[in-house]
A and B are shown apart, each in its own frame.
Chain A
Amino acid sequence: MIIIKKVKTLSYVFNQKLIILSNLMIKYAERHSQEEVEKLLDPIVLEWFKGRYKSFSTPQIDAIYYIHSKENVLVSSPTGTGKTFAAFLDIISQLIQLYRNGNNDKGVKVIYVSPLKALINDIKKNLLVPLEEMKSGPEREWLSHINVGIRTSDSTSSEKAKQLLKPPTILCTTPESLAIAVTAPKFRENLRTVKWVIVDEIHALAESKRGSYLSLTLELLQELADFQRIGLSATTSPIEEIAMFLAGSKRDVTIIDARFEKKTVIEVLSPVKDIVRASETKVTEATYSLLYRFLKNSKTALIFTNTRSGTERVVANLKKKFPDIFTDETIGAHHSSVSRDLRLDFEDRLKKGQLKAIVSSTSLELGIDIGYIDLVIQLGSPKSIIRLLQRVGRSGHNINSISRGIIIANDNDDIVETTVMAYYALRRELDKINIVKNALDVLSQIIVSMSLIKRWNVSEAYSVIKRSYSYENLEWKDFIDVINYLAGAYHSLEERGVYSKISLYKDGERVDRLNYEDRNAEFGKKKSARMIFYLNQGTIPDETKVVVYEGKRPIGTLEEEFVERLVPGDRFVLAGKIYEFLNSKRMKVYVKKADDSKPTVPAWFSEELPLSYDLANKIQAFRSSLLGISKREVLEKISDYPADENAKKAIAEYLSLMTKFLKSKGIEKLSSGDYLVEQYESDKFNIIFHTLLGRKANDALSRAFGYKLSEMIGSSVGVMVSDNGFVLSVDNEVKVNVKKLLKSVSSENLDEILHKAISNTELFRRKFRQVAARSFMILRNYKGHPISVSKQQFNSDLLVKVVQKVENFPLLKETYREILQDYMDISAAKEFLRKVESGEYRFIVLERSNVPSPFSFKMLAWGSSDVILMEDRRKLILKLHQKLIQFLRNKNRDADI
């Protein structure tokens, strides 16, 4: 049902942002009727529509109504509700009316932007058919004025040249190609006629730096033309923020909230009767049998795993176990590592209904047309309520059919997590996405692109940039720092020529750098910058695969992110075998076989999606409410949760084990604000924090507490981070005062500690390299020659070493920002600490023990995933020197020193 609300100002929705956004008005769509909308459409369009369809869906009616009213509109509804179609229908109708009224100017009228090239190709096909059909009436020759063009990185230069002469009425493009079009000296003139911009899959863009880039690009387009913004989004939240992201910080926008328009059914299943006691092999076996049962009875099912490797494994196993129905012809894997041709082939066969099942990691979350899916199966937790709804929403081919989804959980924690998730998904209580704010590397790109257009007054440029919601709070100081960086001000005078990407002027004279007071200075283009911009713009980091060697023999590749986590001695699975990590050098990883030992790092850890903070809080509340009561009481309390009997029994069993454990420690009950801290002795001494906050917040907390612990004990600390908490481990003989440790990190000092704790990590170096590439400090392509990543990589530690000596270096600031705010969630971590400080939350520290709690099992099974090195270099060296002397003494070689 559409939420019908009267016009509201933002203050009602979003109290905290009231001051900043007082100029902006967000409206919620009111209901309109089919008849009202029919009156708005041009007869040609209406006649065509009626010849083919019965009626419009509710979101379609509203989309047409509000697009027609020339307002900025955000339409949020599940995939398959026809929102893209509706948007185009009204726009085509308006275009026809323009032509009827004799308006016949050349130039682009509509820009359709999508993050996916596949979607762009779909759209073109889907537009051409109705346009062709509408033409078939009498005296409609002029409809052929409406032509559709595609402009992506795949477009040839001759195609682009043709577009220059005969600009397409409707231009379908990606954010990156649009950014180039806006700066292209001739082609940009064709954009002065733009009246509509449609941003498809806007929810996916908003969460990334690509979104920041697009929102700035739209502001540059706004300098050329006055256009209406139409955003199309799958189910997401907070919808008001996505609306502001679409409109910019000072424009009105109407929200059509049809997120829950499709009926949805979701159930959590346990593959075995007693998952608490079942072996992993048994669970896996049972999962495949269950899959088989569902797949046999459905027409075409879409299976989501959370990882690419999982995707391949599921396809291979289904083919092996059930060759009767699963062959190369009936099942396929779809993820970003699958070759393009293969992927297109799968998509094509899906549309024709030839596939029985398709298995995907994330690539099919977005709205590529995949035809009729009658069931979505999620293997393991998708980690967020929104993602669950988006995925399940891919089933049921139109708005009137039901979306059916099942989740097959794979262990105790997974059952608890997915049951809570499904429960809130059905109650429409969504978790929130995070919109990237003030990314300084993307800002660098846009300033360079602005310089290519004209010479800008810095204050004017600043206000254009601040119109973007992603930069509405951009600090003047940061803006000037970025300008100075681009002008080469951080380099010596002689070298500036090589380094600068823009030119600066004060009172018409060239200058080398600006002061913060220079509000009337100007910046403009530098000769070589256009080529650098064209070849290096875009925000997606080059996918870097690291080659793994066993001796001299390459045995496979690992993702950079995965390698970031490895420390010597870690064991992991690659291509079905266990290897021990020896070291990594210049994008090469060296390993040796370790067949007899068990892996210490889960495969593809880096691919795992993080649990959302909001959902984590809900699970914490759920878990603690069910502790300290009997199994029967648990079952009663969860009777209306969407899970099968086995899953519910598993929850009761699992929580009663924890209840027993707590009782043995003298704890009867826990409230939702109680966070356990265990001290568990095994081969290491482990401090287990049960901070169920999601991995992003735990990443921040673990590094801060780990850093403080390292300082306290004068030794490096092993860290393992998960969604449910984190583990710090040190040598057994070390004495740790846990109470003191808990007090050492606060909401006040968290920032400062984290800055120190991450500055010397592999994570920081890799992220810095990506930021440097986005800011054109490292070029990926020069004069048309791609520059190999390995050539750039060989010194990312050198790079960081050098820039850390430069004051106010904006790229360092951005690296910290990205790690703390996007990669980790420092604000959630701070909120948690504040609540601990205010007494709303408390840590409950358990005595040292050699038996871990049931809640710890999964965390401990993963082993250590990162290490916080001792910060004090002198102490570290002396300690290692001591160890060395001990070693030599044992060998009777100490006289050798």
Chain B
Amino acid sequence: MQIFKGIKTIDGKRAVYFEELDLVAISDLQLGEETYLAEEAKLFIPQVQLKIMLEEINEIKDQTKANRILINGDLKHEFKEATFQEWSEVKKLHEELKKLFSEIIVVRGNHDNYLLTISNKIGLNVVEEHIEKGYLFLHGHKLPNDYKGVHTIVIGHEQPAVILKSGYDRVKLHVILYGKDKLGHRFICLPAFSPIASGVEVNVTPKEELLSPFFHTIVDIDELKAIAVDPSTGAFKLPKVKLLRSFLLENA
């Protein structure tokens, strides 16, 4: 399904394919969230995230044949310190990605404090933002310095999802948000790739509670459209967020 010209969904995957760049973008992997939860919340859940994500990435590769992958921030859930245990999963993911892709680009996110210090050790390419042929990839927790030569902005960070409800039926779906920002750029917000992320319900959450500064400045989230991505149905188009808000309220 086409999002913009040359930008496509990949079935029901929480990822986007950029034809012109031969590149797949994913965001918010939150690797090691289990360890974080164990240490901080004393909640000891078994680790399954990485395994599921690797299976997904393999399928994405099969479907797109893309040679490059970009992780648009928050590769890691939280780095408390750069110990072996902290980044063993990062290392494992990196090794697996190397087998599938000729280039791996990692954009720094707000959770990736220690990433730079260890990325050298394992030869991981980490950048603040990635600009290529007018495409600007950045995590989205802060705004870029300028938009010179940019025609498309791609962020993550917000982990968008929507709720659909009618009578007793209700369902929550992860979504790709897309549309034009107030300056006329094409704008895309990627869903969280982590299989255990619950997602932020953007048609319920008041605008002022959204995380990314983009939604408080150059992007009106209500004017963005959504594409639901779900393994059971694949990708399908939804209307603007503002209509999804009123569907929820008026169809109760």
Contact = CB atoms under 8 A, between A and B. Distances in A.
B148 interface: no
A351 interface: no
Contact of B168 (A567, A776, A896, A897): A567
A583 B163 CA distance: 12
Nearest to A532: B42
Given A498-B44, A877-B232, A887-B247, A798 B252 contact: no
Interface string B165-198: 1111111010000000000000000000001101
A799 B168 contact: no
A715 B167 CA distance: 10
A880 B169 contact: yes
A569 B251 CA distance: 11
B58 interface: no
B41 A787 contact: yes
Interface in B202-252: 204, 225, 228, 230, 232-233, 236-240, 243, 247, 250-252
B164 interface: yes
A887 B35 contact: no
A877 B42 contact: no
B46 interface: yes
Contacts of B252: 568-569
A798 B164 contact: no
A806 interface: yes
A801 B38 CA distance: 16
Nearest to A885: B239
B47 A495 contact: yes
A867 B252 CA distance: 15
A861 interface: no
B146 interface: no
B251 A498 contact: no
B43 A880 contact: no
Given A495-B34, A787-B42, A881-B164, A716 B169 contact: yes
A421 interface: no
A803 interface: yes
Contact of B44 (A499, A731, A884): A499
A799 B232 contact: no
A802 B44 contact: no
A802 B35 contact: no
A717 interface: yes
Interface stretch (A49-57, A603-611, A633-641, A789-797): A789-797
A740 interface: no
Contacts of A884: 164, 238-239, 247
A891 B228 CA distance: 21
B228 to A, nearest CB: 8
B226 to A, nearest CB: 10
A883 B166 contact: yes
A843 B43 CA distance: 47
A476 interface: no
B41 A879 contact: no
Contacts of B237: 897
B85 interface: yes
B239 A893 contact: yes
Contact of A896 (B39, B40, B85, B239): B239
B250 A887 contact: yes
A326 interface: no
Interface in A541-585: 567-569, 583
A494 interface: yes
B48 interface: yes
B238 A876 contact: no
A772 B43 CA distance: 9
B125 interface: no
Q: Which of B164, B198, B239, B240 has the most CB of A within 10 A?
A: B239
Given A569-B252, A884-B164, A896-B240, A491 B46 contact: yes
A873 B196 CA distance: 18
Of B168, B233, B237, most buried by chain A (CB within 10 Å of CB) is B168
A880 B232 contact: no
Instruction: Please report whether the interface of chain B is mostly helix, strand, loop or mixed according to DSSP.
Output: mixed
A144 B230 CA distance: 75
Nearest to B205: A585
B35 A495 contact: yes
Given A498-B35, A880-B171, A778 B196 contact: no
A782 interface: yes
A707 to B, nearest CB: 13
A777 B44 CA distance: 5
Given A716-B169, A777-B44, A867-B168, A874 B238 contact: no
Interface in A707-733: 715-718, 731
A372 interface: no
A879 B85 contact: no
Contacts of B67: none
B236 to A, nearest CB: 7
A498 B46 CA distance: 11
Contact of B196 (A491, A798, A881): A798
Nearest to B39: A498
Contacts of A776: 44
Contacts of B233: 874, 877-878
B202 to A, nearest CB: 14
Contacts of B47: 491-492, 495
Interface string B144-173: 000000000000000000001111111101
A867 B40 CA distance: 35
Contact of A498 (B38, B170, B196): B38
A792 B165 contact: no
B243 A888 contact: yes
Interface in A471-499: 490-492, 494-495, 498-499
Nearest to A805: B48
A869 interface: yes
Interface in A735-794: 772, 776-780, 782, 787, 791-792
B48 A873 contact: no
Given A716-B168, A791-B41, A897 B88 contact: no
A782 B42 contact: yes
Given A495-B85, A499-B38, A798-B198, A806 B168 contact: no
B42 A803 contact: no
B168 A888 contact: no
A31 B38 CA distance: 60
B169 A778 contact: no
A568 B170 CA distance: 10
Interface in A845-897: 867, 869-870, 873-874, 876-881, 883-884, 887-888, 891, 893, 896-897
A653 B84 CA distance: 78
Contacts of B196: 795, 798, 801-802
Given A802-B196, A887-B250, A718 B45 contact: no
A879 B169 contact: yes
A313 to B, nearest CB: 31
Contacts of B54: none
Contacts of B236: 881
B37 interface: yes
A803 B168 contact: no
B240 A880 contact: no
Contacts of B171: 873, 876-877, 880
Question: Can you list the 5 inter-chain pairs with the closest CB atoms, starting with the nearest?
Answer: A779-B42, A716-B168, A874-B232, A880-B164, A896-B239
Interface of A: 490-492, 494-495, 498-499, 567-569, 583, 715-718, 731, 772, 776-780, 782, 787, 791-792, 795, 797-799, 801-803, 805-806, 809, 867, 869-870, 873-874, 876-881, 883-884, 887-888, 891, 893, 896-897
Given A494-B85, A792-B43, 5 more contacts: A715-B168, A795-B43, A802-B34, A869-B170, A893-B243
28 contacts: A490-B46, A495-B35, A495-B47, A498-B35, A568-B252, A569-B252, A715-B167, A776-B44, A777-B44, A791-B40, A791-B41, A798-B196, A801-B196, A803-B45, A805-B52, A869-B168, A870-B169, A873-B230, A874-B233, A877-B173, A878-B233, A879-B166, A880-B165, A881-B236, A883-B164, A884-B164, A887-B251, A893-B243
